[in-house]
Amino acid sequence: MEPQNPDEPRDGSSAQPGYGVGPWPGGEAAWPTEEHYDRELLATGDTRNVVDRYRYWRMDAIVADLDTGRHPFHVAIENWQHDMNIGSIVRSANAFLADTVHIIGRRRWNRRGAMVTDRYQHVVHHEDVAAFTAWAAAEALPVIAVDNVDGAVPVDRADLPERCVLLFGQEGPGLSEEALAAASAHVEITQYGSTRSINASAAAAVIMYEWCRRHAG
């Protein structure tokens, strides 16, 4: 996984106050003994933004448990403008249990919107679109570009393979011409108002939810 952002808490906790639980009730004598529990969290409480079943677990134990059930779709994001939406897309990828997030372009990306969920999500980097598409081809993963371009099929009618990479672009310009050309299919989200496009992170969440609606157990 990518190196941790020095601005984020080292314990993987949320920056927002009010989350979590206090020390394990009953004191040290009542602590559970299973290896996945973190003794420091048992002693001081767990303020991380995690679901209840992972309270007091070690971070590496949570990742290992997630790895046993990750969905076979990947998420890829072009990163040319240090887009603040990238972090939010990573957060959604974690929520929908994506296999891996692929950052294409600049290695450094804006993690603020991820709310530290990148610590639980596999994130890899590709120097450019060519390197990314070579990886996808080697893995036999079709690339599904998400952008409201001519010829794109509304996602509710589009084919979303169980094994695939969902490719998203930057807020504003969308996907590059090279990325669009590398994709095997183009899909879009049907809209009903006056705006030309919806927020990139919102679009990513819609597409991931649609994949899960069809394929998640």
Is the pLDDT at 2 greater than 70? The verdict is: no
Is the pLDDT at 7 greater than 60? The verdict is: no
User: For residues 11 and 81, which has the higher predicted lDDT (pLDDT)?
Assistant: 81
Ranges of each domain in the chain = 28-58, 73-215
Instruction: Please write the tens of the pLDDT for every residue from 185-213.
Output: 999 999 999 988 899 999 999 999 999 99
Instruction: Please write the tens of the pLDDT for every residue from 147-161.
Output: 999 999 999 999 999
Q: In sequence order, what are the beta bridge partners of 73?
A: 164
pTM: 0.89
**Torsion sign over Cα 189, 192, 198, 202:** negative
DSSP letter at 2 equals: P
How confident is residue 173, by pLDDT bands cut at 50, 70 and 90?
confident
Asked if residues 78 and 89 have their Cβ atoms less than 8 Å apart, the reply is: no
CATH homologous superfamily of 73-215 equals SPOUT methyltransferase, trefoil knot domain (3.40.1280.10)
What is the model's pLDDT at position 18?
Answer: 58
Cα angle for residues 34, 12, 102 (degrees, 5° grid): 110
What is the model's pLDDT at position 22?
Answer: 96
Instruction: Please write the tens of the pLDDT for every residue from 14-49.
Output: 444 456 999 999 999 999 999 999 999 999 999 999
